[in-house]
Amino acid sequence: MHPREQTIFALSSGRPPSAIAVVRVSGAQAGPALEDIAGMIPAARVAKRVMLRDSRGEVIDDAIVLWFRAPASATGEDVAEFHVHGGRAVLHALFAALSSIDNVRAAEPGEFTRRAFENGKIDLTEAEGLDDLIHADTERQRRQALRQLRGLLGDRAREWRRQLIEASALIEAGIDFADEGDVPEDLLKPAMAKIGQLRREIEQTLAASAQSERLRDGLTVAIAGPPNAGKSTLLNRLARRDAAIVSPYAGTTRDVIEVHLDLDGYPVMLIDTAGIRETEDPVEREGVRRAQERAAAADLVLWLADDDGEDARPPRPIGEGGVPLWEVRNKVDLSSLEDDGAKPGQLEAKPGQGAATRYFRISAVRGDGIDNLVAALESFAGAWFGSGETAGITRFRHRNILRESAASLAKTEALVGQGDEFVAEELRISIQLMGRLLGRVDIDDILDSLFKDFCIGK
């Protein structure tokens, strides 16, 4: 039997031990498996308390079972659920009992969701929304993923595809009845009006959704600067835990250290880089190279230096290419500079460098000015991400297909007058692109890439 036709099972709740564990079974053998182990099949969607037994009659657990008959189930197949006590021994015994049944096997990552997709229970954009929801780290990411899971983009794409098919039918009818006087012109006009409106809607969606991919991927902030400036101490202070080794010796950080932060619901990747200096140590030199590379690719650079140190400019390519760079002067608690009236952490123009430069004075050890720096980071993140609350495009795949769709519709409009057959053919391309967005045509490679990253049991 082909693996797609086999019945699958997996733990669908948290890892053991736990108070209760949920084991799902999906496929043609779900009913026989439930009857073999529970001794009966309850009424659909009615919880039933039973004693579970293996093939030798040995008791596995006192449990609750549920039955969902196809197609009214999460996967569109027959589905059984076992709600058992969440001990490892209980789960091991239940898995052994299920595995002993012919054509029943453990599920691969994402296989339940893939079957739901293949059976028409969800479209590809909803499956991608579920993937985003599983991996959401912040509240804003969760809300965006939930909107995607509810079909925000998929519903619009289905409506766009429906209208494109209607327009195509009008044009095809015009071609079929081309010998009947003015009929083609009457059919072409409403079709092209519909196509023009759809193109504008897609273009507006592309423009409004530019920030959604950013929210999904997160903002990258690099802490860079000379050795022993307190970069690791600042990272630990912002992360509120000891994520990086702190040492009084220069060159301690040899590689890039990454920490995920939640700043007012915005996902931020904070990077602690090696101290940037000339060195003969090949390991440290590689760390400096990586530090410069990551800082140059970041969305924001915090250039950290001692408060009473030299006003060194960051080396190339840091600070170039339009990447914002904030100068953060650390160790104000040890500074020998006279008080210039600026409070630690105050945002101000750096003298002689223009109003665009962000300048802070902090103590990463003592905490002076950290609240102001965090508030500025939250404000920067809010402006960088934008609202994104109504956007539906969360992946490059979505954006790429919609761009192709808009271009194809524009080409369709440009072909008017050059032959209705050419218009109809170009419109077929637009319809196929919408099918790809929903996952209905030419998407096997996308499916393999998407579902392999799901957790087992989902």
Task: Specify whether the CB–CB gap between 393 and 406 falls below 8 A.
Answer: no
Domain boundary residue, one of 61, 81, 107: 107
- Kindly list the distances between the CA atom of residue 51 and the CA atoms of 18, 89, 180, 288, 317, in Å, as whole numbers in the listed order: 19, 16, 74, 63, 67
Residue range of the domain that includes 202: 125-211+392-451
**Count of other CB atoms within 10 angstroms of residue 375:** 14
Same domain (yes/no): 237, 379: yes
Domain boundary residue, one of 107, 141, 171: 107
User: Does a structural domain hold residue 176?
Assistant: yes
Task: Specify whether the CB–CB gap between 328 and 360 falls below 8 A.
Answer: yes
Name which of 366, 427, 35, 38 is nearest 199 in CA terms.
427
Report the CATH number that the domain containing residue 373 is assigned in CATH: 3.40.50.300
pLDDT for 247 = 46
pLDDT for 352 = 39
User: Does a structural domain hold residue 444?
Assistant: yes
pLDDT tens for each residue of 206-221: 876 656 666 667 788 9
Same domain (yes/no): 375, 429: no
Same domain (yes/no): 333, 413: no
**Element counts in the chain: helices (H) and strands (E):** 14, 12
Rg (CA), the chain: 30
Task: Specify whether the CB–CB gap between 63 and 80 falls below 8 A.
Answer: no
Task: Specify whether the CB–CB gap between 184 and 174 falls below 8 A.
Answer: yes
Upstream peptide bond of 42 is cis (omega within 30 degrees of 0):
no
Structure tokens given for 144: 């965006």
* HSE toward the beta carbon, residue 153, CA cutoff 13 A: 35
| 10-residue stretch averages of pLDDT, the chain, 458 residues long | 87 91 96 96 96 95 96 95 96 96 92 90 82 75 72 80 87 67 64 92 78 71 85 86 54 63 84 66 65 76 79 57 81 69 51 54 90 90 68 74 92 88 89 83 59 69
Total domains, the chain: 3
Same domain (yes/no): 256, 354: yes
**Model pTM?**
0.57
Tell me 343's DSSP state.
Answer: P
Residues linked to residue 271 through DSSP beta bridges, in sequence order: 222, 258
Contacts 24+ apart (CB under 8 A), 407-414: 408/433, 409/195, 409/196, 409/198, 409/199, 409/202, 410/199, 412/195, 413/192, 413/195, 413/196, 413/199
DSSP 204-219: HHHHHTTTHHHHHH-E
What is the distance in angstroms between the CA of the first residue and the CA of the last residue of the chain? 23
Same domain (yes/no): 398, 376: no
pLDDT for 355 = 35
User: Does a structural domain hold residue 112?
Assistant: no
User: Does a structural domain hold residue 217?
Assistant: no
Dihedral angle at the C-alpha atoms of 119, 84, 6, 121, nearest 10 degrees?
A: 0
User: Does a structural domain hold residue 35?
Assistant: yes
Upstream peptide bond of 351 is cis (omega within 30 degrees of 0):
no
Dist CA 151 CA 240 (whole Å):
37
Q: What angle do CA 155, 157, 163 make, to 5 degrees?
A: 105
Surface-to-core class of residue 346, CB atoms within 10 Å of its CB (0-12 exposed, 13-18 middle, 19+ buried): middle
Residues linked to residue 221 through DSSP beta bridges, in sequence order: 270, 300
The alpha-helical segments, DSSP class H, found in 183-260 are 183-208, 212-217, 231-239
Same domain (yes/no): 156, 199: yes
Domain boundary residue, one of 368, 385, 402: 385
Q: 3-class DSSP state for residue 168?
A: helix
pLDDT for 383 = 81
Task: Specify whether the CB–CB gap between 148 and 179 falls below 8 A.
Answer: no
Same domain (yes/no): 103, 8: yes
